[in-house]
Structure 1
Amino acid sequence: MLQASYPYYLANEAQSPNQDLTVYDKFTGKVATKVAMADAATIDQAIAAAEAATEPMRKLPAYKRQAVLNHCVKRFEERAEELAQALCVEAGKPIKDARGEVVRLIDTFRIAAEEAVRIGGEIIPMDITPRGEGYSGMWKRVPIGPCSFISPFNFPLNLAAHKVAPAIAAGCPFVLKPASMTPIGAIIIGEILAETDLPKGAFSILPCHRDGADLFTTDERLKLLSFTGSPEVGWQLKAKAGKKPVILELGGNAACVVDEGTNIDDAVARIIFGAYYQSGQSCIGVQRIMVHEAHYDEMRDKLTAAVKALRSGDPKDENTFIGPMISEKEAKRLHDWVLEAKAEGATVLAGGERTGAMLDATLLEDVKADSNVNTQEAFGPVAVLSKFSDFDEALKEVNNSTFGLQAGIFTRDIYKIQKAWDELEVGGVVIGDVPSWRVDHMPYGGVKDSGLGREGVRYAIEDMTELRLLVIRNPN
C-alpha cells in the first residue's frame, strides 16, 4: 500500500512543506497519495547544495561510492514488492511488468557499483614525433560536477536509476525532477539514498511543475543536463541549456523487419511482447512491423489472433497484460490516430476500441504512409503491419522516419545482418529479436529526433566525467 503522503528530498533530507501534488491510481482514477512539491526557491537551494557538495563528492573514494550503490541494491531487493506495487498504482503498469522494472532497477545499481571502482585512465605515448621525446602523458576522468536530471513517467524507476546510479558512481552531486504523474518510485530511491553517508547536498529529488522547473535547465551551476522524455520538450530544453552538455533520450518509431526464412511462431511471440508490453508505452516499443511477402499472410493471421488474446484490465491482476495508458488524454490522442487511419482506408485487424484510459491492443494494416499512426510516435498499444518483397527496400523504409532509436531484424543471413548494421540510421540494431530488448549495461540512445548521447551505466559515466590530461617533461 502507498503511504498517505510522501516528502521530497532536499540536500539528502526529507521535507514535507506541503502536499500539493496529487498522484492518481491510473486504473481507477482515484487519489492514491499526495506528494510535496518544490517551488523555484527550493530548486535554487538544491542546486546551491549540489554545488557545495561538488568537492566532497569528488573526493569520496571509489569504494565508498560502491558501498552506497550496494546499499541501494540490498534495500531495493528488500523492498521489491513495495516498489512494484507503487509502480503498478502510479503508472498503471501491469504488475508483472512492474516487478520486471524493479529487477532492472536493481540491475542498474548493481552495474553502477561495479563500474564505480573501474573508472580508469590511459598512458599516452608522446614520442610519436621528435617533439614528444622526453615527455610522458596520461589522462584520467574527473567528475563533471553537479548534474541535472529529468526523468519520464513510463519507466519511473529504471530510467531515474540510469541517471542517479552513474552519477553516484562518477562522484557527481545531482538534482532530479521525476515525472509529476509518477514521482513515488524516485521518492523511495531518495529515501534509501538518505540512509547512506553521502555528503550533504549530494542529491535532491524534487517533484515540481514543468513551468517552475526552468532552473533544472538554465542554471549555470549545473554542469550537465540529462533529459528523458518527449522530443518536443527535449529539443526545447537543449536550446535553453546554455553552455552545459545535454544528453537527450527522446522518442522512437521502432520498426521490426521479418525476413524470408524466419521462424514465424518465434517472431510472433517476440513482436507481441515488443509491441504491447506495458501497454506499448515504451520509446522502443514495436510500432512498424514489416514482413516479407512469403510469410505475410501467415504472420498477419497469427499476430491478429495473438493480439486478440491479450488480456486487458486491472494492472493489479496477475493475468493482465494490457493496463491503462498514463492518462485518458493520451489514450484519446492515440485512438484518434487509429480512427484517422481507418477513415483513410486502413483495416483494423484487432482492437481499435477505447474506454477512458484503456485502449485495446490494436493491430492495423493497409495504413497510409503519411498517417500519424505510421509516422509519429504512437507510445501506446498500437502497431502497423505491412509487407515487403526486397530486403534493401525494407531497410530504406525503416530509415524513412524522423526517429532513429533501435530496430529489430529477424533474419538468418549474415550478410543482411551486416548490411542492416551498416545502413540503418538508429542507435542500435537487434538481430533475431525486437527493438524493445535492452540490457542495462549496453549503450542505449538514438539519432535524429530520438536524441543525443548514450545511456547505459558505463556510457553515462563517460558523459558525467571529463578527461584531464597530465604531461610530464623529463629535462634529463
Structure 2
Amino acid sequence: MLDTILKSADAPALLGGVWLVEGPTAERVGPYTRSVVSRARVAGEGDVHAAVRHAAAYAKQMARLAPATRASVLETASRLATEHRSEVARLIALELGKPVKDGLGEMDRVADTFAVCAAEARQIGGDNLPVAGWERGIGNTALTYRAPAGVALAITPFNAPANLLAHKLGASFAAGNTTIVKAPPQAPAVSAAIVALLLAAGAPVEAVQLLHGGGEVGAALCAAPEVAVVSFTGSAATGAAVARAAGAKRLVLELGGNAATIICEDADLAAAARMCARTGYTNSGQSCISVQRVYVHKSGFDGFVRQVTGEVAALKVGDPLDPSTDVGSMVDDQAAARVAAWAADAGEAGARITTGGTRDGATLKPTVVAGPPADAAVVTQEVFGALVAVLPYDDFDEVLRECNTSRFGLQAGIFTHDVRKIMTAWRELEVGGLIVNGTSNFRLDHVPFGGVKDSGFGRESPRFMVDDYTVVKTLILRGMSIWGEQ
C-alpha cells in the first residue's frame, strides 16, 4: 500500500486492517499548483464507531507485543523513512507548498524519530519499590511496570504532517498501544504514507486505524470512552475544544505560540540576522516555534533591521518542487491573506515594512515588519506565516517582561555570551524551552518539547510521550520480602 499511496497520492482510510478507498472523498488542491494533488476517503457515518470498536478490540493483542518486537519494527520504519524520503517530500510539497528541501529535512527527522522511539521501547520497565523503608512495609515486596494505556488517539497538524505523526504514532506503538490517527485535511496523503510505512516495517495491522475528515471527526473520537489518551497538536482554540470533548482523559496538548528571540548588545548581528532569516521563513513561517518577535537592543536595532532585510529579500520564493526554493506557499489563500492584512495594519499603525507584505494567491512574499506597536496583531497574536516583527528594547529585565506578556509560552531564543543573562532568561521567561545563540525555531526530536500557558501541556519527545502513553501498574507481594523481615 505504501507504494500505491506514494504513486497515486490517494489517501485511503484504514479500518480493521482494511484499506478503504470506496466512499465519500475530499480533494486537496495544492496551494501552489492550484490543482488537485490528492484525494482522501473521508470518514462516513459509522466509521468513527468502527475505528473505536476495532481499536478497543485490538488493545490486548498489541499489549502482548514484547518491547523488543516493537523496537525492531520501529528501527525498520526508520530505515524505510530514509529510503522513501524523496517520494514523501514530494507529497509534502504538493499538498502543502512546503519546499522539497524542507520536506527532505522533515523526512530525515522522521527517520530519527522512529529510531529514538525504538530505543525508548527497549527501555520500558519498572521499579522495585523500597517498601521496607517504612514499618508497615516490612515483610512485603512491591514492584511496578509501565503497561500500555490501551487506545491512543493522535490528532496531527498540517505543518509538519510526517514528523509530528511519527512522534505520536511511533511513541504510542513503542508503548504497546493501538492508535487511532485522525489526519489533517490538508495533508491526507502524507499521513496515509506514514501509517503505511509503519505497517510496511512489520507493525501488525491491528496497531493503527486511520480516518480522514474535519473537526467533527476529531471531536467524536475525543469523546469516545474507549480512548484512554489523546495527543493533539494544533491551535490553542482547537486544543481547548479537544479538552472539552475528551473530558476526563489523559491529554497531551502542544498548541500555538508567538515565539520571541532576544538579541543582546554583545551578539553578532550578522550571524543573528542570517539565522533569523533562515528560521523565520522555513515552511513559510508555519511553525509554532517559528521566529515571530525579534527584540533587538537599541544599540544594534537599525543595523539588524538592515541586515535581516537583506537576508530575507535574498530568499528564493517559488515552486516548492524546485530544490533551490527557500520559501514556497502557505497552506491556503486565506492564511496568506490574513498575514498580509496584519502586516498592512501594522504599517498603518506606524511600523515600517522593509520587505515583502504582498502575496500571490497562497504565496506570501517573506515580510519584515520593523517597529510595530506593542499591541499590533503581528506582536500579540500567533502569525503562523512568513512574517517576522523586529522591535527595539533598552533594558534586559524590561524585555523579559515584554516577552512574558504573551498568552503563549512555547519556546524562545537569545543571542548573548553573558552567562548571567542566559541564566536569568532561563529562569524568568515563561516558556517551555530556551535556545541560546539560536532562534526560537530549533528542535531536537529526542529532547523534551512543549509549552506553558496557552501553548499547552505535556512534553513531546519519545521518552516523555511513552510515559504519557503508559500507566503504572503495581504488584504487592504480601509476606514475601527481599528486604529482610525484622
Q: TM-score range by the shorter chain?
A: over 0.9
Alignment of 1:212-227 (within 5 A): 212-227=217-232
| Matches for 1:314-325 after TM superposition, within 5 Å | 314-325=319-330
Q: Which of these residues, 13, 26, 47, is aligned with residue 31 of structure 2?
A: 26
In 1: Cα distance, 2:289 partner to 2:84 partner: 28
Indicate the residue corresponding to 1:50 in structure 2: 55
For 2:452, the equivalent position in structure 1 comes to: 447
Rounded to whole Å, the distance in 1 between the matches of 2:292 and 2:201 is 42
> Contact 1:40/1:212 (CA < 8 Å) preserved in 2?
no
**What is the 5 A alignment of 1:296-315?**
296-315=301-320
Tell me, yes or no, if the aligned pair for 1:50 and 1:203 is still in contact at 8 Å: yes
| Structure 1 partner of 2:76 | 71
Aligned to 2:216: 211
Aligned to 2:178: 173
More off after superposition, 53-62 vs 5-14:
5-14
**Stretch moving more, 170-179 or 64-73:** 64-73
Q: Secondary structure at the match of 2:319?
A: coil
Q: CA deviation at 1:409?
A: 0.9
* Offset of residue 192 of structure 1: 2.4
Q: Residue 316 of structure 1: CA displacement? A: 1.0
Paired residues for 1:200-279 under 5 Å: 200-279=205-284
Deviation per residue, 1:156-187 (Å, 9 max, x gap): 10011110000110001011011001111111
Q: Map of 1:125-140 to 2, 5 A cutoff?
A: 125-140=130-145
Q: Any idea what SS the aligned residue of 1:238 has?
A: helix
User: Once the 2 structures are TM-superposed, how far is the Cα of residue 401 of structure 1 from its aligned partner?
Assistant: 0.1
Give the distance between the partners of 2:368 and 2:55, measured in 1 at CA: 48
Q: Distance in 2 between matches of 1:169 and 1:117?
A: 8
Q: Deviations over 1:124-180 (max 9, x none)?
A: 212333233333333211111101111000001001111000011000101101100
Quote the residue 1:16 is aligned against. 21
Unaligned ranges ≥5, structure 2: 1-5
Q: CA deviation at 1:32?
A: 1.2
Alpha-carbon distance, 1:199 to partner: 4.1
Point out the more displaced range, 114-123 or 157-166: 114-123
1:366 corresponds in structure 2 to 371
TM superposition shift of 1:376: 0.3
Q: Which residue of 1 aligns with 2:3?
A: none
Cα root mean square deviation, aligned: 1.5
CA shift for structure 1 position 366: 2.0
Residue 355 of structure 2 is aligned to residue 340 of structure 1: no
Checking the alignment, whether the CA contact within 8 Å between 1:19 and 1:34 is kept in structure 2 is no
Residue 5 in structure 1 maps to residue 5 in structure 2: no
Q: Which residue of 2 aligns with 1:384?
A: 389
Matching residue's letter, 1:106: A
> Which whole-Å CA distance do the structure 2 matches of 1:230 and 1:190 have between them?
23
Q: In the aligned structure 2, how far is the partner of 1:322 from the partner of 1:192? A: 28
- Fraction of identical pairs, as percent: 36
1:200 Cα deviation after fit: 4.7
Deviation at 1:4, TM superposition (A): 5.6
Deviation at 1:104, TM superposition (A): 0.6
1:299-345 CA distance string (max 9 Å, x none):
11101111111111111112211111100011111111111111111
What is the distance in 2 between the residues matched to 1:70 and 1:249?
26
- Give how far 1:289 is off: 0.2
Equivalent residue in structure 2 for 1:117, among 110, 119, 122: 122
Residue type at the aligned position of 2:368: L
Q: Deviations over 1:101-141 (max 9, x none)?
A: 01011110011111111112222212333233333333211
CA, structure 1 residues 300+200, in 2 after alignment: closer, same or farther (shift >3 Å)? closer
Counterpart AA for 2:214 = H
135-144 or 84-93, which deviates more? 135-144
What residue in structure 1 maps to residue 333 of structure 2? Answer: 328
1:201 alignment partner, SS class: helix
Q: Distance in 2 between matches of 1:190 and 1:59?
A: 21
Question: The residue matched to 1:265 in structure 2 has which SS?
Answer: helix
Asked if 1 retains the 8 angstrom alpha-carbon contact of 2:371 and 2:392, the reply is: no
Q: Residue 274 of structure 1 aligns to which amino acid in structure 2?
A: T
Deviation by residue 1:219-272 (Cα, 9 ceiling, x = unmatched): 000001111111111101101212211111110000000112112222112111
- Listed as ranges, the gaps of 5+ residues in structure 1 are none
CA distance in 1, matches of 2:409, 2:131: 39
Amino acid at match of 2:120: E
* Maintained 8 Å contact 1:40/1:215: no
Q: 1:223 to 1:70 in 2, by over 3 A?
A: same
Q: 1:314 is paired with a residue of what secondary structure?
A: coil
Letter in 2 for 1:191: A
Task: Tell me: CA distance 1:365–1:197, structure 2 relative to 1, closer, same or farther (3 Å).
Answer: closer
Amino acid of the structure 1 residue aligned with 2:450: G
**Structure 1 residue corresponding to 2:361, chosen from 351, 356, 366:** 356
- Asked if 1:283 is matched to 2:288, the reply is yes
TM-score (norm 2): 0.95
Query: In structure 2, how many angstroms separate the alpha carbons of the residues matched to 1:429 and 1:361?
Result: 25
| Aligned partner of residue 426 in structure 1, secondary structure | coil
Q: C-alpha separation between the residues in 1 aligned to 2:451 and 2:193?
A: 29
TM-superposed CA distance for 1:206, in Å, is 1.1
- Aligned-residue offset at 1:196: 5.0
